[in-house]
Homo-oligomer: A and B are copies of this chain.
Amino acid sequence: MKTITVLPGDGIGPEVTTSAVRVLRALFEKSGRDVQFIEKKIGGAAIDTFGTPLPQETIDQCHNSDAILLGAVGGPKWNAQSMNVRPEQGLLGIRKTMGLFANLRPVEAFDTLIDSSPIKRSFVEHVNFVIVRELTGGLYFGRPSERRGAHHEQVVDTLSYSKNEIERVVEKAFQLAMKRNKKLTSIDKANVLESSRMWRELVNQIAERYPEVTVSHQLVDSAAMQLITNPAQFDVLVTENMFGDILSDEASVITGSLGMMPSASLRSDKVGLYEPAHGSAPDIAGQGIANPLATILSAALLLRYSLDMDQEAAQIEKAVRNVLSQGYHTCDLQMEQPNNHIVNTAEITDLVINAV
């Protein structure tokens, strides 16, 4: 029996994970797979109960799982609290503890959303790429990260990488490129940062083992521009943690909305953590109107990468496209087509389940 740990987290997290679990259950029933779901707390919800954003029992349960499905963490409720206990630490902590070093975010335009997107149809129509973001190193994990001086007049964060940390995620990106269009773009700031120069050298070294893959390098500032002016050039993008954080949120404008962007956080075996790219949206939490599609699409990635259920993964992705093309969507999305129906979280989930 396989085990999926569900970490609903905060805000709309519980609503969107509930939706995705319903879709998964329906598929497991149909295919006769025996999978158990176990729910644990993370983020603000865990702070409220255990005083820590990542309780030991959550860690233990994740280590005994085949996959983890996460909602979102954080919210204004916990912002004012002591800076030593923040919901985001739960998310950063579980990624680190589980060694999930490669965060994949597929970027593809949804036809029915293009007309209301800020970008013109001709620029995004045939876009289909994946961002591979290093997830457990760099500035978001570097030590020291502290204030200094008698009056705390200095502050320091540290961007640190080992060769191995860079190599394993770049390797993963090359493997992915081999299964796709054999084009890899590495993003760095090698004209300024030493870490980027090492990154670029290692990419070039690993490239020698993948002669079929066309490799190019872009500076992060230029890449932030080209993601909008010429997104069709990309197949697989690979970059360090913070650049990946910024660029993948930016790239969500191509999918039509951050509410449509799934993610998979992987390591070398099949265990992975799957979560929507969006946050906890505390302003609409608890109203039953959140868009669960990014989480449902993350569940599809879970089937593909952790459970070898490629076919079922594709079924979910197709079902989501079908439901959208019929004009159904939650209130966060805008659609410029005549037969256009706003539905709530439960309704759109039902529609996806029926379409599977």
Say whether A153 faces chain B, with CB atoms less than 8 Å apart.
yes
- Given A120-B118, A155-B160, A145 and B224 contact (CB-CB distance below 8 Å): no
How far, in angstroms, from A269 to B92 measured CA to CA in the complex? 43
Contacts of A311 in B (CB 8 A): none
B88 close to A193 (CB less than 8 A): no
Chain B residues positioned under 8 Å from A162 (CB to CB): 153-155
Per the bound structure, the CA–CA distance linking A284 and B170 in Å amounts to 32
A225 to B151, CA, bound (A): 36
- CB pair A153–B157 under 8 Å, yes or no, is no
In the complex, whether A341 has a CB less than 8 A from a CB of chain B is no
CB proximity to B under 8 Å, residues A3-57: none
Q: Is A119 an interface residue (CB 8 A)?
A: yes
Hey, which chain B residues are within 8 Å of A246, CB to CB?
220-221, 224, 243, 246
Copy number in the complex reads: 2
The segment out of A176-184, A249-257, A322-330 that lies at the interface is: A249-257
Q: In the complex, what residues of B have CB within 8 A of residue A164's CB?
A: 153
Q: How far is the CA of A197 from the CA of B81 in the complex (A)?
A: 13
- Judge whether A342 is part of the interface by a CB distance below 8 angstroms: no
Nearest-neighbour CB distance to chain B for A192, whole angstroms, equals: 5
The proximity string for A residues 265-293 relative to B, scoring 1 for CB distances below 8 Å and 0 otherwise, is 00000000000000100000000000000
**Do A198 and B159 touch (CB < 8 A)?**
no
How far apart are the CA atoms of A249 and B44 in the complex, in Å?
Answer: 35
Would A160 and B153 count as touching, CB distance under 8 A? no
Determine if A195 is an interface residue (Cβ-Cβ < 8 Å).
yes
Q: Please determine whether B249 and A221 come into contact, CB atoms closer than 8 angstroms.
A: yes
A158 and B161 contact, Cβ closer than 8 Å, known pairs A146-B194, A222-B249, A250-B250: no
> How close is A77's CB to chain B, nearest CB, in angstroms?
14
| Chain B proximity of A234: nearest CB distance (Å) | 14
Q: Which residues of B contact A221 (CB under 8 A)?
A: 245-246, 248-250
A243: chain B residues at CB < 8 Å are 246
A229 within 8 A of B: yes
Determine which of B153, B197, B220 lies in contact with A83 in the assembled complex, contact meaning CB atoms within 8 Å: B197
Sample of 25 A–B contacts (CB below 8 Å) = A83-B197, A86-B191, A92-B192, A118-B119, A118-B120, A118-B228, A118-B229, A139-B139, A139-B159, A139-B193, A140-B192, A146-B194, A152-B163, A153-B163, A155-B195, A156-B158, A189-B242, A221-B248, A221-B249, A221-B250, A224-B224, A224-B246, A225-B249, A229-B253, A243-B246
Q: A-B pairs with the 8 shortest C-beta distances? A: A221-B249, A224-B250, A157-B159, A118-B123, A155-B198, A88-B191, A153-B163, A228-B253
Given contacts A140-B192, A225-B249, 16 further A-B contacts (CB under 8 A): A86-B191, A88-B191, A118-B120, A139-B192, A151-B163, A153-B164, A154-B162, A155-B195, A155-B198, A157-B160, A158-B159, A221-B248, A222-B249, A224-B249, A224-B250, A225-B253
